[in-house]
A and B are shown apart, each in its own frame.
Chain A
């Protein structure tokens, strides 16, 4: 082996850095055993790195005494054998005082805890009432939408991947809004989202209406989406998080065409 070339290859620098594989490390080690002059080179590279990295420290050096203390903390403690004499009457006096004191403190703490507990319960109750009235208002709004005769309803039927799925699109052409009822879709797997597409049929041109990122979190599974397109059909596909440029047709969950005359 040509030692000079071996050194010039830069492998020893990587050896010191720890960037080589286990196998390469063993090979370098064996080569050094064979050619001791390599050891000098390695030691010198190591020295340069030790100096360079030491310059990046901020504090003064940490003393070895701290390490020794930490190690000793873990060693078993020595227990003294001689027993000191005990003044029992004094001790029991202190003990009684301590117990009474602790009971007193304990009661005060308990009392305080109960007070805060009542306060939080009250607050939770108020929040629940607030929430209930909110969702009632939402439900009323939805009923209004469904009853409006101007609104086109498009059922989307389950497709090959998920025949049991279904969804419904309510399309308000006046306001260009879509209400998607997606209760009939399973929760998307992790890392995937549903994406709604507006489709033109001839030729087939899909336009993304966006992904449904809040699917799992949403309780009633009704989503309001803007749709300025002259859609002829709607489809829902399962796409990787963030959505796709064009629909993955193998993952088409539901599909439905808009009936010709509204």
Chain B
């Protein structure tokens, strides 16, 4: 209920509510953006643009359309993917290999060694390739289940249940 109220205040242009939502999702959004553009400065710029866009277009969000987080996630993925289609990106990253988010986690040099990060690294290392790609496509790339089923050559139903069990493992590990 708290979250709903927060979003309502945010839509009424309450900066405090905006800041709270920002702090809740900023790291997640920048993680998603980084996993697509793979450049710190660009990721920061796009992440900020995403939140400014959300603020300026807060009216267009409606809980009927989905979760607030999902709404921001969509804005972020679109902005990041748009960037990867730009000339600027193509020039700078001609030979970029398409790392999975898991590769980013596994090779993470961050000093921020909280239990969560350590646990996550272990978790993604243990994840099966099919789990990795399902999570990658659905959450990090924004594929629909149909697109994901075509990409991975799996029936739609399998995508749904496999994703459910992968997220289930993640939740057990995180205790959420």
Contacts and interface: CB of A to CB of B under 8 A. Distances in A.
Contacts of B171: 44-45, 48
Nearest to A68: B15
Interface string B5-25: 000000000010001001111
B62 to A, nearest CB: 9
Interface residues of B, number: 61
Interface stretch (A19-27, A88-96, A172-180, A252-260): A19-27
Contact of A48 (B51, B144, B176): B176
A52 B127 CA distance: 13
B176 A71 contact: no
A62 B25 contact: no
A71 B52 contact: yes
A15 B164 CA distance: 11
A15 B52 contact: no
Contact of B139 (A11, A25, A49): A49
B174 A48 contact: yes
B61 interface: no
Among A28, A43, A49, A50, residue most surrounded by chain B Cβ atoms (within 10 Å)? A49
Contacts, number: 156
B69 interface: yes
Interface in A1-49: 8-11, 13-22, 25-26, 28-29, 42-49
A61 B104 CA distance: 17
Nearest to B120: A55
B86 to A, nearest CB: 20
Interface in B36-70: 40, 43-44, 47-48, 51-52, 55, 63-67, 69-70
A56 B73 CA distance: 14
A11 B170 CA distance: 17
A18 B48 contact: no
A215 B117 CA distance: 58
A51 interface: yes
Q: Which applies to chain A's interface (DSSP): helix, strand, loop or mixed?
A: helix
B84 interface: no
Contact of A55 (B69, B108, B135): B108
Contacts of A51: 28, 116, 120, 174, 176
B36 to A, nearest CB: 10
B83 interface: no
A14 B145 contact: yes
Contacts of A28: 66
Contacts of A85: none
A62 B15 contact: no
Nearest to B103: A56
A13 B145 CA distance: 11
Interface of B: 3, 15, 19, 22-32, 34-35, 40, 43-44, 47-48, 51-52, 55, 63-67, 69-70, 73-74, 101, 104-105, 108, 110, 112, 116-117, 120-121, 135, 138-140, 142-145, 148, 160-161, 163-164, 167, 170-171, 174, 176
Which 4 A-B residue pairings sit nearest by Cβ, starting from the closest?
A10-B164, A56-B31, A54-B27, A10-B160
Given A50-B24, A67-B22, 12 more contacts: A15-B67, A17-B138, A19-B145, A21-B144, A25-B65, A44-B176, A50-B27, A50-B28, A62-B44, A67-B52, A70-B48, A71-B52
